[in-house]
Structure 1
Amino acid sequence: MTITNIPNRVEILKQKFTNSLGLPFRDLLLESTIREALNAENLSYRRRLFDPFVTLWVFLSQVLDTDKTCHNAVSRVITWLASVDAEIPSVDTSAYCQARKRLPENLLSRLFANVARDLGYQVTSEHLWCGRHVKVVDGSTVSMPDTLENQAAYPQPSSQAFGCGFPIAKIGALFSIATGAAVAVVVDVLNIHDIKLARLLYQFLNPGDVLLGDCAFCSYADLIFIQNYNCDAIFRLSQARKNQVERCRRKPISSFESIEVWRKPSTRPKGLTPEEFTSIPKTLTVRVIKYYIPSPGYRTKYVILVTTLLDPEIYPTTEIMRLYGQRWEVELDLKHLKTTLGMDVLRGKTPQMVRKEIYAYLLAYNLLRTVMWEAGTTHKVDPLRLSLQGARQHLDNFIPQLAWASNKKRVQLYQTLLKTIVHKSDFSR
């Protein structure tokens, strides 16, 4: 192949991906946006078929497809080039695989976070909780091929004999409760505690955010750390930990709610450095809400919520209870990433490729959330009630038509796609 043919083929592929996958991202992931991110990474690249732009779009289409093999991804490129009589590349996948390796981790991480941020800009007051943005934190795990590099970076569970398991990484993620988008993620070893992952995520909170989490994240120190970011928290207090809390004052608001002043633990928790422990104030004022959740046929759940939102008039008790009831939706978000999109078993043979895959999945996931948001807001339906699986299926089916349609027809197809996502949705996340 000659170098003069490459730019033409690159432009053909850019056009096809922009017309299909790129359409929902037309205001979020423009070529100029990708170029700006490349410049921020100081990345220079040669003129070749799989330049960063083409590689990124192929990578995205790969994780969205049910067939996630590199052979299928390259086959799609060959098909699109052959249809316009352009010179086709080799069926060998090495060029594409090498191109994926050249993509910087930070580029993919930056892009998925930027898409989530820009989608957040579309949130209006009607989608906020008591006028506040709410983020939800949770953790999960992913497995990967059993290579020496992966085992060194993300060892398999110690309970498994060597050679009888796969490397496993733990991920901690922040999701927007308004849009369902993944805002930030951190990746670490399996035996790291969830609360340590959460502390790495606090930096991605915006002033004024409310952080929602289960009992794994509720601690004296973390409530203060979150306040230091000018944010508030709503956590569930573990039944095992409730008797360990040192209360020095309590002011009842009702029979099931009170304002309490907690005393700093007398001994330093293992997860804190001496400097962090020393910097923590000696007392902390929190609001404690206790209530029951009756479950027919099961033992009644006794829930204790702890929050730094102290004013019951601005933040009514019923609203806090209702909001905590939505916390489980982050588990559905992680389930969609792992099962609907297939992120539970990764294919990267090195730790770097594993992390790139995770970021690519998050970027694809946020793409779907973008489509669902536009479908819901266009047709006056709550975007979070739409089916992500349905959105992925409809998008996959519309992609070939969007790629080859004229500009006028493409707009009609896209509006039909949005209508179909709403009309055929089973209204489950």
Structure 2
Amino acid sequence: MDTDKSCHNTVSKIIAYLVGVGVEIPSTDTSAYCQARSRLPETLLQKLFRQTGQNLEEKVTTEYLWCGRNVKVIDGSTVSMPDTTENQKEYPQPSSQKLGCGFPIAKIGVIFSLATGASVALCMDVLNTHDLKLARQLYQFLNPLDILLGDRAFCAYADLVALLKLDCDAVFRKHKSRTTSIRKGKIVGDCDKLVTWYKPKICPKGLSKDEFDALPETITVQEIYYYIVIHGFRTQRVSLITTLLDKTTYSTLEIVGLYGHRWDVELDLRHLKTTLGMDVLRCKTPSMIRKEIYVYLLAYNLLRGLMWSAGTTYATPPLRLSLKGTRHHLNNFIPELLAAASTKRQQIYRTLLKVIAHKPVSVDAKRLVVRHRPARSEPRVRKRRPKAYPLMTKPRHELRKQLQSA
């Protein structure tokens, strides 16, 4: 959770703590710390990460559920890591880049809870892995009656069948390869219909022959289509596919509103990669890279747990609180929490929750929450100019030779 994630900074913090409690300080050399860190089992960190997500899920009450059901949001992303031989072998750089000029990149698939914002499952593979392959590794972490929310990359026949077998449901955007036809299907509303999907004639990539043969010949899904009209932009048509067929329990407007929350997963990934700094990893071996990711997710879930406690204690929606602000408060309160006695620590902790949920930002003392900004649109441009250095087009050792010869 610190902005400076170097081993030297970590050892310095430990030494400062030991000085405060009157213990003989260790060496400032980071070697012992790095060796101890490398001995941590990857399975232990994986277990801790999942446990934090599950513990937070158990605190969710009915008022935070969607139509009485838990919704999980899935998406894929990438992370970069140091250019070492081991990392390049396990997670090769993009094939479009020259050797020695790029960085190893891994593809990750993550499932987040829509109610708490916590991450509940993760898988990792090489860069050119399709999102569906990652998703099929993550289905095992879903609970019965969960609803999986995702974009069009996950809308496949076999995956809808797999989710139904798990007693789960899905809300995906319709894949672009499936043409939209208003005439086909049974009309059940102004902008929705029941459609029969047929089993593909050819076995899709990623499925074995046995898995393909086990698929049913048809499934019935509901297709919902609506239009997004924003002034100054071209009107866009959106088609949703869902296995939620009960119109009485799940109305069309509720399903459309639910898909509007799919963007939350992009914000969760931004918190992980930008706010906490997981975009560019530091470790130099694949095993340590995976451990580093699990520790990032562990820290992220602990922050989400703190936001949940603060929000539910002081009647503020937990997802409207600032994760970055929560990190700042926690980092600043940690020394006081460590130094206090057990009775005093409880008082400090309650104060921490209060400042997370309440902070005067103007004369009317509004709460420091993330404002609801519907239909917000910002250009994806950079104002601050980068340094005028050329891109690296040759390996470093070749560039050194050029400098020496010059």
- What range is the shorter-chain TM-score in? 0.7 to 0.9
Give the structure 1 partner of residue 172 of structure 2.
Answer: 235
Secondary structure (helix, strand or coil) at the match of 2:89 reads: helix
How far the C-alpha of 1:361 sits from its partner, in A, is 0.4
Aligned to 1:9: none
Who is 1:150 aligned against? 87
**SS, match of residue 141 in structure 1:** strand
Q: Cα offset for 1:82?
A: 1.4
Matching residue of 2:346 = 411
1:177 partner amino acid: L
Q: Deviations over 1:343-382 (max 9, x none)?
A: 0011110000000000000000000000000000000111
Match of 1:91 in 2: 28
Using the size of structure 1 for normalisation, the TM-score is 0.83
Structure 1 residue 86 displacement after superposition: 1.0
Shift of 1:428: 5.5
Q: Is the 8 A contact 1:143 1:168 kept in 2?
A: yes
Deviation at residue 187 of structure 1 after TM alignment: 0.7
> Which residue is 2:4 aligned to?
67
In the alignment, residue 174 of structure 1 is paired with which amino acid?
Answer: I
1:147-206 deviation per Cα after TM superposition (whole angstroms, max 9, x unaligned) = 000000000000101111000001000000011000000011000001110111000000
* Paired letter, 1:206: N
Partner SS state of residue 262, structure 2: coil
> 2: CA distance between counterparts of 1:327 and 1:407?
42
Structure 1: tracts of 5 or more residues without a match: 1-63
Call closer, same or farther: CA 1:419–1:127 in 2, change over 3 Å: same
Bigger CA drift: 209-218 or 267-276?
A: 267-276
Matched residue type, 1:265: P
Where 2:221 maps in the other structure, the secondary structure is strand
Give the one of 362, 370, 392 matched to 1:427. Answer: 370
CA contact (8 A) 1:194 1:216 kept: yes
1:28 aligned residue: none
Paired position in structure 2 for 1:220: 157
Change (3 A) 1:335 1:110: same
Task: Report whether the alignment pairs 1:382 with 2:325.
Answer: no
SS in structure 2 of the partner of residue 268 of structure 1: coil
- Who is 1:373 aligned against? 308
Contact 1:386 1:428 in 2 (8 A): no
Amino acid at match of 1:142: V
In structure 2, how many angstroms separate the alpha carbons of the residues matched to 1:303 and 1:412?
A: 50
1:183 lines up with 2:120 in the alignment: yes
- What displacement does 1:89 show? 1.1
Match of 1:127 in 2: 64
1:24 match: none
Structure number with the higher helix fraction is 1
- Name the CA shift for 1:428/1:369 in 2 (closer, same or farther; >3 Å): farther
CA distance in 1, matches of 2:105, 2:237: 33
**Alignment match, 1:348:** 283
User: Residue 256 of structure 2 aligns to a residue in which SS?
Assistant: helix
1:280 aligns with 2:223: no
Is the 8 Å Cα contact of residues 248 and 261 (structure 1) preserved in structure 2? no
Q: What is the rounded CA distance, in whole Å, between the counterparts of 1:371 and 1:179 in structure 2? A: 11
- Partners of 2:310 and 2:187 lie apart in 1 by 46
Share of identical aligned residues, percent?
61
Q: How many residues align?
A: 364
**Cα RMSD after superposing both structures:** 1.5
